[in-house]
Amino acid sequence: MAPILTPEQHLVMALTERLISGLSIIGILFIILTYSFSSAFSKPINRLVFYASWGNLGLCIVALISMDGPDAGEDSPLCQFQGFMAQLFLGVDAYWAFCMAINIYLVFFRSYNTKQLRGLDHKYVIVCYGFALIPSIIYLFIETEDRGKIYGGAILWCWVSNEWSFLRIAVLYVFMWIAVLIAIYIYIMAGRDVWRKRHALKGFLNPFNEDPFAKHVTMTTSVTIRSESRKPSMPNLRVREVDESHVDPNYDAYSVNIEIGQLDQRREMPRRPSRPAVFNIPSLTRSAALSEENADAFLYARVAFLFFIALLITWVPSSVNRAYALAHPETIDFPLNFTSAVVFSSQGLLNCAVYMATSQSACRKLWAKLLRRDYVSPKESFTPYPVGRDEDRSGRQRLDSDATSITNLTAR
């Protein structure tokens, strides 16, 4: 006989699942609505979190149905629907974390930028949701006399029934943990790379520092000036040539050093003599590695890592519970099942926390707008020297950085 919960445990589990999944739905709707309708939120580092949120929404629907599915019986449409949704969306976060890890590999070791990563999005959507959709549909049509239907009661909700429990491991947990282990390996390699560049990437690992690169943007521009000699317009004017021996060899008549930023900072920066353009070669330092597109790629890597941490919080307790159930099929460990119910229901809430941590300025602006206050961001209130700009979706110009240095304008 399959193990069952006591009525008190049944009630506690149902209430907990519905309460936390309700909060998760609020977080998911916040992600979907702000990303869809606000240019401040719709940036590359939030894109895959947005795609994963649809899977979180489906899992929250499963949690809202809770134990009403098993109580209705495995032959009921409600139980079959709940089982289909659970199989479809349970592993989606793991697959998206794997895709994010692939992007991290491409960013750190293949020098991909955000435009190249965006071209992979449609492939990721097909793989993440299509890979889970195939078994979810097949399970609806399989039934045997000995085991019955695949979808049936699974303590927390309707999913793969206890009689078919080996399918939970073979079709979901094995692939999920393979993806997680590969992602861990990629993150270890990327972490070593970040550690080697820890001085150049200072602040990168702080999740509450939304953009650690905003104050350190450097642009190098080369300007060529063409000139031609001409006779003086006044015929009686004599032009005296200057002996080059009296000219400072370090003096460059066409060298311009323009520095834009805070006044005290500009006074402290000494002027350096110009150097040939051949020496202006980018290196893996903060200023060179963090070009306009590469900075977004590095920030994207941090978001992916935070998303992966949220995934581990969800799947480690669940995997422990599954291992215990295999070892002790005749008993139910209520604390483990309760923990699994909590973490599964909170996936959307955890992902929303990651989303908000990487969109702090946008969240503050939205909150101030809701309170009908005039909001001035730290970047916009800083200085009368705005130079770096980028266009958002509406075509308006927005400040992209609060300080920009333009150096080495060399004439040839």
pLDDT in tens, the chain (412 residues): 456 788 888 899 899 999 999 999 999 999 999 999 988 898 777 888 899 999 999 999 999 998 899 989 989 999 999 999 999 999 888 899 899 889 889 888 888 877 888 889 999 999 999 989 999 999 999 999 889 999 998 888 899 998 898 898 899 889 988 998 998 999 888 878 767 765 555 554 555 555 544 444 444 455 555 555 555 555 555 555 555 555 555 555 555 555 554 444 444 445 444 444 333 333 333 443 444 445 656 666 777 888 888 888 888 888 888 888 888 877 888 899 899 889 989 999 999 999 998 888 889 888 888 886 554 554 444 444 444 444 444 444 333 333 333 334 333 4
| Contacts of residue 252, Cβ cutoff 8 Å, sequence gap at least 6 | 273, 274, 410, 411
Q: Give the burial string for 387-410 (b: 16+ CB within 10 Å, else e).
A: bbeeeeeeeeeebbbbbbbebbbb
Of 45, 40, 52, 21, residue with least CA distance to 351 = 52
Strand runs (DSSP E) across 252-300, as ranges?
Answer: 256-260
Where would I find the H helices in 328-384?
A: 334-345, 347-357, 360-370
